[in-house]
Structure 1
């Protein structure tokens, strides 16, 4: 963990309402590994997501859908614990932040409109809730799936090489690591590239992006900079996942994400550029 490293604290919250303005569900998108608990814990746990849901659902009594953001390099400040109270505490922090956002949302189907100034010692601008224009409330939906070709590391072992390594290994930890690489190679197949699935949904003004691997947070930061007026909900490990997508500059460092991933340097950057084109085409 590097407390001084870059991060992304962006929190996206959406409310789904019926025609009468009553909430039906909430959508929460936040980027943080659910690793509050680790090897000392022997309980099945939703980690911080569970307590976050409890905070929101106890207040509004509607379901909460959580989307795991691009958190390949983001962990909770307090993590790898054996105490479930740590997961609950992390979840309450996020839940209270979500509640703050929900309390500040405009009423469903409404916007704030400037209605003029009240002349006084200091002129006071006045705003009122008005219905959104029809073009903003018209149904705009689109769904598409595409694939991005990601090169495999040239030195990533073949299935035969990995099975030979496994047969020679005697250390249990090493055996487990090789077993994981065997699983990765079986999922990738014998070829030099993998075709990673990505999914995009347009829902009104917002776009939801699903990516089938664990991306570093720079992916969502760069996409949101490129689309500053479009709410982008980013979901990683969508419909499964094989490995991490670190930025090119960290390859060569002895860190878990680089050692674990079968993908070559540059795959994250290729993913960002492809998604930018897909989003532009959808808008």
Structure 2
């Protein structure tokens, strides 16, 4: 494996923040902000729409923030009703704004709704200026809005206990593989944060399935099924819910019957399953109040030359030129992928990946991590298209061929190995290291 990685990886950066001392307690805070555009802008997700502008709002989009602190360690976890995580430039701005607060790690993930706005357009000729000024303004203002919500949650810290539970549900399907039987990741995991009196502060829900249940022809903004899932949870729990998309690159919703085929009906069904898991979590032992964080980067080569003018023209026809110019610039000469690994106590591992990881990355992580709740948060802190497994790439097809997965083969495996090492190192499993 070390030889394989050396072929794919051209650089490596890492920073670790150590766990807080045992004892004390967790503190946590919640905040939310509306991220629905105020004006018509191009919509994210379906290439066939090209640059057609949005035509209103079906249901509003939000970003929901939970900040967790133990001792002097603090991390922010954000779930957004957007197609992807913030761009590299946006993440840099958010971190600069929040630098005085000394966050060890920040995880900002998109739900991957295909009824959100394009956020990549910038104020430059041929990249948005003059043609898509409303979208440029939206993208310009988004980092400050997210940073303000994170700061608000940080200002609301109060004592909590954290518990988790998981169950398997047959609510997603493999949309890519032709192999039989088709594998899936049925795991639904919830993390509940409860005040000392037992009342819930928030519930985090991790599940893998594309939010693509509303028609592509609908040009209105929508959170898709995660919005209905949250509403179902909140009506019962009387506390906010945060959806954290999992390794959903090859996972689609799998309604069990005709009655649950719509996004609202499917979201309600998933919400009821999450509530059942939340009741189990309430009876679980609280996790030890410590936090450890690793923020690491690796640079990978490409399977496709995105600087080639022919490829840019082809991508421009498939999507639209201004979007492709911004994305291609970010991928120039290779891709630097950042992963953020957060360990809560000895039980919960959160691994944020900036792309669309295939589900087998998550199932293999659970097999290897020796941890009760190791979770992948996809579409987190960026978006570098699909991260298929090596086996999936060998099958080809949408999401696994070089057009939509231009990153070097084995990149997903390398990122997961990196995170796995971090999880073991945080728990002191490599004695004798200097």
TM-score, normalised on structure 2? Answer: 0.52
Structure 1 residue 198 corresponds to structure 2 residue 374: no
Matches within 5 A, 1:89-238: 89-107=265-283, 111=285, 137=288, 139-153=289-303, 155-158=304-307, 160-163=309-312, 165=313, 175-177=317-319, 179=321, 181-189=324-332, 191=333, 193-204=334-345, 205-238=347-380
**CA–CA distance in 2 between the matches of 1:157 and 1:101?**
44
| Aligned CA distance change for structure 1 residues 209 and 276 (closer, same or farther; 3 Å) | same
**CA–CA distance in 1 between the matches of 2:336 and 2:187?**
29
**CA–CA distance in 2 between the matches of 1:16 and 1:185?**
40
Shift of 1:44: 1.6
SS of residue in 1 equivalent to 2:244: strand
SS of residue in 1 equivalent to 2:201: strand
User: Residue in 2 aligned with 1:275?
Assistant: 419
**CA–CA distance in 1 between the matches of 2:236 and 2:186?**
23
RCO comparison, higher one (Cα < 8 Å, 6+): 2
**CA–CA distance in 2 between the matches of 1:181 and 1:42?**
21
Select the residue among 24, 43, 49 that pairs with 2:226: 49
For the Cα contact (< 8 Å) 1:55–1:95, is it kept in 2?
yes
Number of corresponding residues:
242
Q: Which is higher, the Rg of structure 1 or of structure 2?
A: 1
Matches within 5 A, 1:260-271: 260-271=404-415
User: Residue in 1 aligned with 2:206?
Assistant: 29
SS of residue in 1 equivalent to 2:377: strand
Shift of 1:177: 3.9
User: Residue in 2 aligned with 1:12?
Assistant: 189
Structure 1 residue 243 corresponds to structure 2 residue 391: no
Over aligned residues, Cα RMSD in angstroms? 2.5
| Aligned CA distance change for structure 1 residues 252 and 177 (closer, same or farther; 3 Å) | farther
**CA–CA distance in 2 between the matches of 1:43 and 1:162?**
30
Task: Report Cα offsets for 1:239-280 as digits up to 9, x if no partner.
Answer: 220210111123354511123122122212212211211211
Shift of 1:88: 0.5
Shift of 1:156: 2.1
For the Cα contact (< 8 Å) 2:204–2:242, is it kept in 1?
yes
Shift of 1:38: 3.2
